[in-house]
Amino acid sequence: MGEKKCQTPTSKSNNLYIYTWTSYSDDDLLNNFRKATGIEVSANIYDSNEEMLAKMQAGGGADYSVIYPSDYMVIQMAELKLLRPLDGSQLTGLENLLPKFQNPVYDPGNRYSVPFSWGTTGFIYNPAKLQPEPEDWDYLWKYQKQLHRRMTLLNDMREVMGAALRMLGYSYNSTNAQQIKAAYQQLKTLKPSVAAFTSDSWRSLIFSGDLVLAMCYSSDANEVIKQNPKFKYVVPRSGSSLWTDTIAIPQCAPNPAAAYAWIDYMMQPEVAAAICERLSFPTANRAAFNMLPDQVRNNAIMFPPDSTIAQCESIAPVWEFSAIYDRYWTELTSG
């Protein structure tokens, strides 16, 4: 199959449409960008990489000029020719990236993406209502009765399947059909006690006390704990996922010039530092990191110690095995 032909861009130069994760933008960011560049920007949100990919494959690549794929999805989308190779001459500040993000394994030479944020996956919980406190993935099964309908899992196939795989001692990125099936069977036994598969709506429920534990991303946990320090966040002891979210330009982006302006703006150290502080997303920008106040730089939820990172895995594409993951995930989450 040949490369998809893109229609001639029709978008006006002062309009930019971005497709991003929940909470990755706010009115301050959009308004500040408009004031700095004169470009009007609108943001739509998605819950998972798979949701974003499906939209892009259904023609959504011609609707948006900026998207935020995670590390493993960059590889997948580049293989599918859904991403536009970046023109480094149109970007400034790449040298400000932390060394581990300057030539990442998922995108050597940052050919298709610029790392924006990173973090871990774990549990946010109310320690006043959970004794003992959770330390590892197996806690969900050991204390299933106490957690019945008072816990949520992410609405993210690879994260949830990966957690069950890790609990069984396997890789988040297993390409062994028996291991994947075993993870599904474990999750099937847990499902009656899961209140919902959600990446965002757990927040109000944990504040209200309807939930006592939610599987979540570290950035979201940090935001909630800023609002109410009674909650705690833990990365499971046996290891979890270490994710990187990036900024990329779809192959058929209607306004690539505005997309480069957006990436350039997001790479400015003072902008990246302000986003990190305001929205709780750990920056991949070394110059921005150095601008942060000590209490942010020393926040172990946002910037975990090397010992925690060493236990974690980055999610990688599973290629033809994705059909097996998809099938089990559909069975798990339907009905």
- Which residue range(s) make up the domain with 262? 15-118+243-302
23 lies in a domain?
A: yes
What average pLDDT does the segment 146-156 reach? 97
CA distance 117 to 22: 13
Instruction: Give tens-digit pLDDT for 28-46.
Output: 999 999 999 999 999 999 9
pLDDT above 90 as % of the chain: 92
Query: Would 8 be classed as within a structural domain?
Result: no
> How many angstroms separate the first and last alpha carbons of the chain?
36
Mean pLDDT of the chain: 94
Burial grade of 270 (CB within 10 A; 0-12, 13-18, 19 or more): exposed
Pairing of strands 213-217, 151-153: parallel
* pLDDT exceeds 80 at position 143: yes
Which residues neighbour 240 within 8 Å (Cβ) at sequence distance 6 or greater?
A: 120, 121, 122, 163, 166, 311, 312, 313
Task: Give per-residue burial for 103-115: e unless 16+ CB within 10 Å, then b.
Answer: ebebbeebebbbb
In a domain, 161, yes or no: yes
In a shared domain, residues 137 and 232:
yes
Q: Are residues 201 and 151 in the same domain?
A: yes
Question: Strands, E, within 127-250: which ranges?
Answer: 151-153, 194-197, 213-217, 232-234, 242-248
**Do 253 and 232 sit in the same domain of this protein?**
no
Sequence letter at residue 313: E
Examine residue 328 and state whether it is found in any structural domain, yes or no.
yes
Using DSSP, state whether 330 is helix, strand or coil: helix
* Residue 305 CB contacts under 8 Å (≥ 6 apart), including other chains: none
Shared domain check, 143 and 228: yes
Are 202 and 213 contained in the same domain? Answer: yes
CATH number for the domain that contains residue 196:
3.40.190.10
114 and 257 inside one domain: yes
Q: At what angle do helices 269-279 and 256-267 cross, to 10 degrees?
A: 80
Residue 124 lies in a domain: yes
The candidate with the shortest Cα–Cα distance to 259, out of 20, 1, 26, is: 20
Question: Is residue 119's pLDDT more than 60?
Answer: yes
Q: Is the pLDDT score of 3 beyond 60?
A: no
- 135 part of a folded domain: yes
Handedness of CA 72, 307, 138, 118 (dihedral sign): negative
Can you read off the two tokens belonging to residue 7? Answer: 């229609």
Looking at the whole model, is its pTM more than 0.75?
yes
Percent with pLDDT over 70 in the chain:
97
Strands 113-125 and 213-217: antiparallel
Report the pLDDT averaged over residues 251-260: 96
Question: Taking a C-beta distance cutoff of 8 angstroms, is the pair 11, 40 a contact?
Answer: no
Within a 10 A sphere around the Cβ of 310, how many other Cβ atoms? 10
CA distances from 193 to 162, 254, 330 (A): 19, 45, 18
Give me the mean pLDDT over the 154-174 stretch: 97
What are residue 308's phi and psi, to 5 degrees? -70, -45
pLDDT band, residue 260 (cuts 50/70/90): very high
The number of domains in the chain is 2
Shared-domain flag, residues 127 and 230:
yes
Rounded to 10 deg, the angle between the 49-57 and 71-79 helix axes is 20
Q: 226 and 136 share a domain?
A: yes
Do residue 267 and residue 326 come from a single domain? no
Task: Give the per-residue pLDDT at 30.
Answer: 96
Residue 228 tokens read as 């109410």
Question: What is the token pair recorded at 130?
Answer: 């959970």
260 found inside a domain: yes
Tell me what pLDDT residue 2 has.
42
In a domain, 3, yes or no: no
Is 112 in the same domain as 133?
Answer: no
Are 218 and 152 part of one and the same domain? yes
Question: Is 260 in contact with 90 (CB distance < 8 Å)?
Answer: yes
Q: Look up residue 86 and give its DSSP letter.
A: P
Give the rounded distance of the alpha carbon of 50 from its chain centre.
11
Which residues have C-beta within 8 Å of that of residue 306, sequence separation ≥ 6? none
| Same domain? 133 vs 214 | yes
For residue 63, CA distances in Å to 39, 42, 57, 249, 255 come to 16, 11, 12, 11, 9
Q: Which two tokens stand for residue 191?
A: 């499902």
